[in-house]
Amino acid sequence: MKLIVLERNSVGTDIDVSCFEQFGEVTYYANTTAEQVAERVKDADIIISNKAPLNETTLADAPHVKLICLLATGYDCVDLAYCTSKGIKVTNVVNYCTPAVAQHTILLALMLSEKIAFYDDYVKSGAYSAQDRFSNFDRAFHDLDGKTWGIIGMGTIGRKVAALASAFGCDVIFYSASGKSTYTKYPRVELDTLLRTSDILSLHCPLTDRTRNLIDKNALNKMKPTAILINVARGPVVNTQDLYQALMAEKIMAAGLDVLEKEPLEPSNPLSQFKDSTKLIITPHMSWASIESRTRLIAEIVKNIQAFLDGTDRNVLTI
């Protein structure tokens, strides 16, 4: 067996991936651009990848590929129809980072809600030491208790966030990104209702034709001017230019992003102009990447490969 790991560094060099070598000869690439994929996979039996495009263009000259293992839950980088037509199995890994992403969602909401960046800077600047009173709360903030927390995408991560938000006393509502959810623990509402009533709106949906640009100018204009938007799903779910304009015009109060339309952040991205972390926090697509999450991810890839070799369909994606 020849295994090709296209983006070894995407799981961090602090995580041991030598466990792949039990299955055969492994070639590791730190990272792989779209232009490099076809050449690197041409002799592969198994491809282990994250974001590299795997489609007819990149796989046409790779006749031996039998299995693609994604180092991720999302699979928008893979042409499933083409892979199915060629008998290539595709697997992903689900639920490995649920605690980490949910934790990060709450963190962003709390930091923006309580304007932590302002108060941290206030103390470190010396302004707190120079004042003559014991406390400072010049920037108003509010309880989470009693606020409405809206969720788009009530999957595993969405449900974990809902439970944590409920523990803070929030009233949780959700919109089904697929339109098929039968989950009944929290009220399911239409998108307009979610946008108009949410004090905090967090996104936990996959990127599909239904969700691309779901949060655009029209959606942002329906939100409360005091609302906080959190995106830990996929960057293109939110229209970058429209979000920038909404923040500039104070159509919403703040946004916390762990994902962007194009990653890494490009200097031309208008959101890069924001230096006020009480209005916008951007983290570098790291909410999923706790040590525990990345360790689970590699362990699950090993299980997916073993299941394939044993002839069972574990986490196999189908169209």
Active site amino acids? 234, 263, 285
Inter-residue contact 201 to 165 (CB < 8 Å): no
DSSP state of 125: T
Nearest CA among 134, 151, 146, 227 for reference residue 189: 151
**Straight-line distance from the first to the last Cα atom of the chain, in angstroms, rounded to the nearest whole number:** 26
Read off the tokens for 102: 């949910």
Locate the DSSP E strands across 21-123.
25-28, 46-49, 67-70, 89-91
Among left, alpha and beta (phi > 0; psi -120 to 50; other), residue 305 is alpha
Residues 6+ apart with CB under 8 A from 141: 113, 114, 115
176/154 Cα distance (integer angstroms): 7
266/131 Cα distance (integer angstroms): 40
DSSP state of 23: G
Query: What H or E segment, with its residue span, contains residue 159?
Result: helix 156-167
